[in-house]
Structure 1
Amino acid sequence: MLKTMKSQIARTLRAVAFAVAATVILPSFAANAAGIEARIIKNPNCGCCTMHGDYLRQHGFDVTITEDENVASLALMAGIPEDLQGCHLTMIDGYAVSGHVPVETILRMLEERPAISAITLPGMPMGSPGMGGIKEAPFEIFSLTDGKVEIYELR
């Protein structure tokens, strides 16, 4: 009986610890994006870019959207090769973010402040934020610095 009581107390303490951790960690995650400016540059004919902007707003970013038919050229100037570009370019706190990169990856980058110039999720993968559809494989998100390309995260 004493062993059963100790087990129940241990389970209760773990549940309380989890609840406290969730209360502290989850709100701070959303607060990390509060007030951070995200400037999206998109092609005037693309709607998914606007949906990605809405997604960023839902996570606390202060989003402005500019339309420009030269998104690919601007991404090249930001150091993102054509074959690694997403469909829009977002400038966030000194970094270029190309494509439908998930907010968790963006926040990780902003928190860690790596010595990179950009991150990119190439193309328009289904299931990515703002695209809709069903995610078929982990997203390969790349980092770029001075022409060097590395996998930044699989998400």
Structure 2
Amino acid sequence: MFISMDGTSELGGNEMRWVLITRYLVALALASGVAAQQSPALARPLDQIHVIKGVGCGCCTAWVEYLREEGFEVTEEEMLPADLIQQKIAQGIPADMVSCHTARAGDFVIEGHVPAKDIRRLLSEEPDVIGISVPGMPYGSPGMGPEAEREAYDVIVIGDDGSTEIYGTYPAGS
């Protein structure tokens, strides 16, 4: 089949329309792929996180609300404490990294009152780890009181082998 530069061809009218429509759709698909690579918002859906929390836990609920305010699409599930502990063990969270709630974002575990910026960093970097944790319940971390009055705390990355290292640091508020 021959199509000249001026768009004329040996094809009939309907055949030529289909050729042009096909070219248009291919160009549109290629352009969409380029846009998705250049814009993280187009490359993946809204940040989604599933939170498993203790029944009636107020600070867990406050953290869920904080995540929603930060633009995450949050689903939540309540469990009895013994079941929640089993979830933490099953997901490979070391005992010294435990906090009150456990979440999943993508392929990662998020344990405790982790700030949204660290969750987004984890999701964008996609390191080969289990996830991140803010062990305990530090005052002033998201969902745990005013940030201006926070106590210093670290966000810890949990390696696949259970090893840990500091991923982010938050100094005490002033």
Same fold (TM over 0.5): yes
Rounded to whole Å, the distance in 1 between the matches of 2:116 and 2:42 is 12
Which has the bigger relative contact order, CA under 8 A and spacing at least 6?
1
Unpaired segments ≥5 residues, structure 2 = 1-38
Q: TM-score, normalised by structure 2?
A: 0.67
Structure 1 73/154 Cα, relative in aligned 2: closer, same or farther at 3 Å?
same
Map of 2:163 onto structure 1: 148
Partner letter of residue 92 of structure 1?
Answer: A
Deviations 1:32-83 (A, max 9, x none): 9971211000000311101101111111111011001222221121111122
Partner of 1:125, secondary structure, is coil
Unpaired segments ≥5 residues, structure 1 = 1-27
- Which aligned segments of 4 or more residues in structure 1 are displaced greater than 4 angstroms? 28-34
Rounded to whole Å, the distance in 1 between the matches of 2:42 and 2:97 is 30
Larger Rg: 2
Of 40, 44, 57, the match for 1:46: 57
Q: TM-score, normalised by structure 1?
A: 0.75
Equivalent pairs counted in the alignment come to 127
Give the stretch that moved more between structures: 28-37 or 127-136: 28-37
* Residue 81 of structure 2 is aligned to residue 67 of structure 1: no
Q: Identity over aligned residues, as a percent?
A: 39
1:1-155 aligned at under 5 Å gives the runs 35-69=46-80, 70-133=83-146, 134-137=149-152, 139-145=153-159, 146-155=161-170
Aligned CA-pair RMSD: 2.2
